[in-house]
Structure 1
Amino acid sequence: MQPKSLRTLLTFCVLFATVSLHARQETDLPITIQADSATVSELEGTSVYRGNVIIEQGSLRITADEILIESQALRPSTIVAKSIDETTGHARFEQATQGTKGNILAQGELIRYNVNLEKLEISGQASLTQGLDRYEGDNLSYDLPKGLLAVHSKDDADSRINLTINPKPGKP
């Protein structure tokens, strides 16, 4: 591998490791929830929040018409946010990141976030913006610790994905 390519690869890995480390540090912060109603089942380890739901923990913010939180050992393990009414907009996931990649803003009709694995799955007019880069498709998955992003279109011939990837500042 060329020295410049190795340096670029190492920089890329350090950036994504920084994003993951920042997210892990925030899991010990308190969670605040605002909603019109809530149904909590301690026995099943689930809670459902309905009506203009806003969940925040540190720099993480998730908004949707309805949010389901599944817990294990009294800690959130999966968060499912969905848009029920098209007029209210999409479910949204926002998280500040450390490093130069930029903050994450994801939206779609349905967002599933695996808290333990730090993986996002977005479906239905899915989009993800990080810094100046933008990814759009019908379905999108993002593994934050690995920096692995997959974007898929619908199966019909007219559906395509759209990507905007900006050059990184630095020496040529």
Structure 2
Amino acid sequence: MLTLALALMVPFSVLAQGAQVAFGGMKQDTSAPVEVTADQLSVNQADGTALYTGNVVIGQGEMRLAAPQVLVVYAEAAGRIDRLEATGGVTLVNGTDAAEAERADYSIDAGTIVMTGNVLLTQGDNALTSELMTVNLDDGTAQMSGRVKSVLQQPQTSVNP
């Protein structure tokens, strides 16, 4: 019984300091084309940005990101996206995993998405919350930090009378 109690305590002590979890179950091809759909688009040639607003959905490979507003920042090299800044309540879906947060910053070259503000990650019936989650698209993992809380569903076992 003591062994079971200790085994159950280990994941929660790790989660209190920060947790590394799988995200999306697959590597993401960050060189794949980025497709953006939205209700409106405003382009600013002076600072090299494009602001998409209204029902914004971004797709790249199997990954989908949705938000009310996304600022696309282009690199010095013409036409190449440097980063995406999604705000106003963001949903990120990759494979069977989904995450929600107030903001997400996607660095294309680094292959990372940093989600901040009331992050909620769902994986099947399990849920994790934190203040910050960094998704590494190159290896399909995520690091959560800032008061991490987990709700892990236990498999149902049948009891024979």
Question: Could you say whether these structures have the same fold, taking a TM-score greater than 0.5 normalized by the shorter chain as the test?
Answer: yes
Whether 2:101 is the aligned partner of 1:108: answer yes
Residue 151 of structure 1 deviates from its aligned partner by: 2.0
Which string of whole-angstrom CA distances, capped at 9 and with x for unpartnered residues, describes residues 80-107 of structure 1? 1111xxxxxx3111123xxxxxx33121
How large is the Cα RMSD of the aligned pairs? 2.7
Unpaired segments ≥5 residues, structure 2: 1-21, 155-161
Per residue, is there more strand in 1 or in 2?
2
Which string of whole-angstrom CA distances, capped at 9 and with x for unpartnered residues, describes residues 45-89 of structure 1? 311111121122332211111001112232222111111xxxxxx
Whether 2:57 is the aligned partner of 1:65: answer no
Correspondence list, 1:21-36, <5 A: 23-24=28-29, 27-29=31-33, 31-36=34-39
Q: Identity of paired residues, percent?
A: 22
Residue 110 of structure 1 deviates from its aligned partner by: 0.7
Point out the structure with max Rg over C-alpha.
2
Counterparts of 1:123 and 1:137, CA distance in 2: 8
Unpaired segments ≥5 residues, structure 1: 1-14, 84-89, 97-102, 154-160, 168-172
Q: TM-score, normalised by structure 1?
A: 0.62
Q: Which SS does the other structure have where 2:26 is aligned? A: helix
Per residue, is there more helix in 1 or in 2?
1
Q: TM-score, normalised by structure 2?
A: 0.65
Contact 2:32–2:61 (8 Å) recurs in 1: no
Equivalent residue number for residue 145 of structure 1: 138
Aligned residues: 129
